[in-house]
Structure 1
Amino acid sequence: MNPSTCISFFFTIILILNISHAISPNSGSKLYENVCNKAKDNERCLKLLESNTQITLAKDYLTICKLFLEMALEKSKNAQNILKTFMIQNPSSLAIKQCATDDYNGLITSFKSSLDELVDDPLSANYDAKVAGDGPQACDRALANEKIVNPSISTINDEMTFLSVVGYLATSYLRQ
């Protein structure tokens, strides 16, 4: 091979590598950042996902979804336990009882279903991650109807609703 052919061949290889890198799914960013780029509150999403180093190191969306939903499931169970404490402290409140039982049972069940369906039915996993947020929203409505203002419960509901949103965004990558 003559020198000009070698140089031409070398530049062709470099060009191909650059193009393939440019179109790769995680070029310039990590996969979890792609999920957060779709969130209305990007910074909050990044802070949430970056709190789990396994998520930040994940090389595929299935792993991110699995790790995130496990985290969301744990956080929702902890939130329900806090609500059960409020229920014991306020036994006459039907709204708090609804939150601690029906609404948060639905939240936990939806996250669990989403986690269980990741591989076999990503569309249902995506749907279940989305509807997980219905429980905290129903809780907020029940509290408002009973004219209960409890910033702690409102914060918990907001956090759980946000987990649902991020779960929905993450699982949406499985449908692509």
Structure 2
Amino acid sequence: MESPLSYALAFFFALFLFLSSSSLANASTQLIDDVCKNTINNAECLKILDSNPQALSASSYKDLAQVALGLAIANAEDSQTFINNLLKSDPRDAIKECASSYKAVVASFKSSKAEIEEDPMTANYDAKIAGDDAGNCETALSSKGVKVPAISARNHVVQLYSSIGDVVTALLG
């Protein structure tokens, strides 16, 4: 038969584990809140990061930067593939410019992620530039009178990821 002391110890151990995991979750949620409130769209940033288990388990801004830039790269690569496929059936100059812009977007996000450890300032610059490249795509579309809502929506999301990357890498320095 188990002693009441054994039950009490088991209860307190379980309570300790629950409270410590809860405080870790609160810490990562606070990191996300600190980043998102300084981006171009707090609500959309929270939607992206709060729905990602890796972001929710980040224990530092460095961890969160790795996760956010990983998400940015995946999104940019998906958009690049979409634009390159569209270009096959619609070879207008504006879409060609977007294909070129997205090559730069992907490269900038990859460079930013690679620089997190060694050079946070360069990581910050590269994250910011990725958004500028998506803006160049949007400018190419509008200046040539080309309306492709799917590309414009992707440009908006890249600019949000750029803002997230910009904010979180600025917190590393």
Tell whether the structures are fold-level matches, with TM greater than 0.5: yes
AA aligned opposite 2:50: E
2:65 and 2:28 map into 1 onto residues whose CA distance is: 21
How many angstroms does 1:139 deviate by?
0.6
How many angstroms does 1:125 deviate by?
0.5
1:170 and 1:135 map into 2 onto residues whose CA distance is: 19
1:81 and 1:27 map into 2 onto residues whose CA distance is: 36
Q: Which TM-score applies when normalising by structure 2?
A: 0.81
How many angstroms does 1:39 deviate by?
2.1
AA aligned opposite 1:99: C
1:163 and 1:138 map into 2 onto residues whose CA distance is: 16
Equivalence for 2:83: 83
Which runs of 5 or more structure 1 residues have no equivalent in the other structure? Answer: 1-25
AA aligned opposite 2:102: Y
Equivalence for 1:133: 131
Contact 2:27-2:59 at 8 Å conserved across structures: no
Contact 1:30-1:56 at 8 Å conserved across structures: no
How many angstroms does 1:51 deviate by?
2.1
How many angstroms does 1:140 deviate by?
0.8
How many angstroms does 1:97 deviate by?
1.1
Distance 1:103 1:40, change over 3 A: closer
Q: Which TM-score applies when normalising by structure 1?
A: 0.80
CA root-mean-square deviation? 1.5
2:172 and 2:44 map into 1 onto residues whose CA distance is: 22
Equivalence for 1:15: none
1:29 and 1:167 map into 2 onto residues whose CA distance is: 17
How many angstroms does 1:40 deviate by?
3.7
SS in 2 for 1:120: coil
Equivalence for 1:165: 163
What do residues 3-51 of structure 1 show as CA deviations (whole Å, max 9, x unaligned)?
Answer: xxxxxxxxxxxxxxxxxxxxxxx77952111101212421111001112
Contact 1:107-1:135 at 8 Å conserved across structures: yes
2:147 and 2:28 map into 1 onto residues whose CA distance is: 44
1:28 and 1:61 map into 2 onto residues whose CA distance is: 9
User: When the two structures are aligned, how many residues end up with a matched partner?
Assistant: 148
Equivalence for 2:11: none
1:29 and 1:80 map into 2 onto residues whose CA distance is: 31
What do residues 114-133 of structure 1 show as CA deviations (whole Å, max 9, x unaligned)?
Answer: 01110110011011111111
How many angstroms does 1:62 deviate by?
0.6
SS in 2 for 1:59: coil
Q: Percent of aligned pairs with the same residue? A: 35
Matches within 5 A, 1:26-175: 30-91=30-91, 93-100=92-99, 102-175=100-173
